A and B are shown apart, each in its own frame.
Chain A
């Protein structure tokens, strides 16, 4: 098998995706700064609120007592917003609102959430599990929503950044263990991976050396690739111990990257918490397996004059942390950037409010999605390869320079 990209090319790719990411974040957040006040975004929401409230008032009465204080607050803002629009800025704002909506839509898609939106009415309310000062409390996230609006329930409310916080003297949330969209996606992917790979593993039970059949023949070349092209060249002679971890890592990232590309799917590998965890595991494995030679190279690089060591040692020490940090950022950025680009291109249709733009937009989206398939694979490869490389540096035996 041939290495399809050298590390320099990968580095360039990473930088390119970082730039794309920064640009797209700039675009999607630009609206926040583009508006005169930060409140405008709330006003926008509030206007919708107000409309909903009106409907509520007319049609239903049972929900009125539920979190009345919050509704009242929204209503007030709604009036404020209407007043703002009355100032003759309506025409100029109109376009902004669309862009704002698209920015919201994009962020909503790439961020974690307590509900899983599939389509306008297809909403899956996920369980909320809170570890509070007062013990574990469980709810359904449906309790916190009423007509797509956040409402207070049992002393808790989902705030603007999607986090659950205590209000009105309820016990503070210590950790939110809710089955969010990402957690649900994680669990689904775990089940799929276990089912698939245990069935693959069954083929090889008892040292069966026959040629693979069915699903085993699909994954065997990839397993051999990870072993022979990632683990062996980067780790060196002691590679065998690390191959199972690298395989799990590679397939977890790769499959979740691919799952993330499906419409309506969660952005699991584009979540900083996930990449953080994976990077921390790499950090632990690398440093636990670090031999004397590895630590000597960090703490006192052999063959370097003492004064230089004063600078070099802190830099080398810092590199212990920058390596996993770069892993964390690279995967997060590459996947998030890809999602932002795809969603922005779809968003163009809504910004221009025209059917005419749709074919061009869809063409671009298709093209970018193709690239995303490539990126999903490359990022899994890169994360695994760099993990293997760092392990290789940690277990490398002393050799003369």
Chain B
């Protein structure tokens, strides 16, 4: 079978030709090509990574912003609440004070009134007494000026006594 016997001449041609091909293509075709492919793939990978990173950073930033906003909102709420509480307290305080003052004034007024009333009453009593005395004096003076009347009066008293 001639088919199965390698021809030495062709082996040499093939060896030389193929090795030339391997070296020339290896140097001028595959080396730049594989290098560029690798560079490109690295570039793509880096671009993807940086995009991923940027996205993460963006998300982080957004989360931060959200958090800050939340905090600010909470703080504002707190401040409002505090203010309201303080206001309420102040109002109560003022109300209380006012009530107390009013009470005191009322009490003072009452005491004053009482005092004046007492004073007035005392005065009235005194005047009534004085007047009564004056009247009584006058009456008595008049009554006692007349003997008969005095006698009648004594009789009457006695009569009253008898009844008892």
Contacts and interface: CB of A to CB of B under 8 A. Distances in A.
Q: Are A and B a genuine interacting pair, yes or no?
A: yes
Interface of A: 107, 110-112, 161-163, 175-178, 180, 182-183, 186-187, 190, 193-194, 197-198, 200-201, 203-209, 216, 220, 223-224, 227, 240, 243-245, 247-249, 252, 271-274, 276-278, 280-281, 336
A52 B6 CA distance: 33
Residue among A163, A243, A277 with max Cβ neighbours from chain B (10 Å): A277
A183 B13 contact: yes
Chief secondary structure at chain A's binding surface: helix
B21 A200 contact: no
Contacts of B34: 223, 227, 240, 243-244
Interface stretch (B22-30, B66-74, B117-125, B147-155): B22-30
Contact of B25 (A206, A244, A272): A244
Nearest to A219: B33
Contacts of A274: 10, 14
A247 B24 CA distance: 12
Given A194-B25, A244-B22, A272 B37 contact: no
Interface of B: 2-15, 17-18, 20-22, 24-26, 28-37, 39-40, 43
Contacts of B29: 197-198, 200-201
A111 B3 contact: yes
B3 A272 contact: yes
Contacts of B8: 175-176, 273
B21 A207 contact: no
Contacts of B2: 111, 161-163
A197 B22 CA distance: 11
Contacts of A205: 32
A273 B21 contact: no
Residue among A178, A272, A280 with max Cβ neighbours from chain B (10 Å): A272
A186 B25 contact: no
Contacts of B26: 244-245, 248
Given A243-B30, A243-B34, A197 B14 contact: no
B13 A186 contact: yes
B20 A190 contact: yes
A336 B22 CA distance: 25
A243 B25 CA distance: 12
A177 B30 contact: no
A182 B28 CA distance: 26
